[in-house]
Amino acid sequence: MMSVPALKAVLAVTTSTALAPMGHSHVLAASAKTLREFSREVGQLDPITVALPLDFVVPASEILKEAGIDFVPLVVDPRDAHELAAALKPVLDDHTLVAVHDSNRPLTRLSQFHRTLEALLADADAVRSSTPFTETLKSVSGDQLIEYTIDRTSVRRISTPEIVRVSAIDFAGRNKKENQGWFLPLKAKTAIGYVDSDPESIRVNSNDELALLASFLHWQQTVAQN
């Protein structure tokens, strides 16, 4: 078991899609199990923290209890970085690191969590995973006219987990750069790192995407193993 500075494991529930069934379980339960396993593997035995809006508390609690997940609910809108930071601050205690995982990424591998942590411990204060963007991107005007092709090398697909040193979190809101794109606001001049994410770490945003994911899971569990 790898021992690391005290880490707070946080699952961010941002949309109702996380509450949808997936196979014999739910999207939320799959994401929570991976986060909990990662937390255990790095020596953290506390329940995971589940950050979610008030409307999601009852259904999410039922799903997680049925899956046998020890958790502590944190009622907050995890899409608001400053609100999430303020809600987390009183419960961080002696924690040195915070790992935030998007509940809508149920197939994220444990190896991706460990790569992210290793990169942070090496030489960074905040690390998250990403992949190159391979599709063709076009800029479209307000009249729906194609203006130009965007350089795909300047675009990345961002994934989770995000692992951040508590000392790098901008609790005071002094860094006025509002659209940092992280779950937690970062102080100015934070040393940021990226690691490669696995193809499976896709985000489920709709029922149609969930159906596609279910098809992939069926293929993975039947055809790919034969």
Convert the pLDDT of each residue in 93-142 to its tens digit. Answer: 889 999 999 999 999 999 999 999 999 999 999 999 987 655 555 567 67
* Domains detected in the chain: 7-130+158-221 (3.90.550.10)
Give pLDDT, residue 207: 74
Q: Report the C-alpha gap between 26 and 18 in whole angstroms.
A: 7
pLDDT digits (tens, 9 = 90+) for 23-32: 788 999 999 9
Average pLDDT along the chain: 87
Contact 18, 61 (CB under 8 A): no
For residues 213 and 22, is the Cβ–Cβ distance under 8 A? yes
Q: pLDDT confidence of 51, banded at 50, 70, 90? A: very high
In this predicted structure, the answer to whether residue 224 has a pLDDT above a threshold of 50 is: no
Residues 6+ apart with CB under 8 A from 151: none
pLDDT category at 205 given cuts 50, 70, 90 is confident
Q: What is the dihedral of CA 52, 131, 22, 87, to 10 degrees?
A: -10
Band the pLDDT of 170: cuts 50, 70, 90: very high
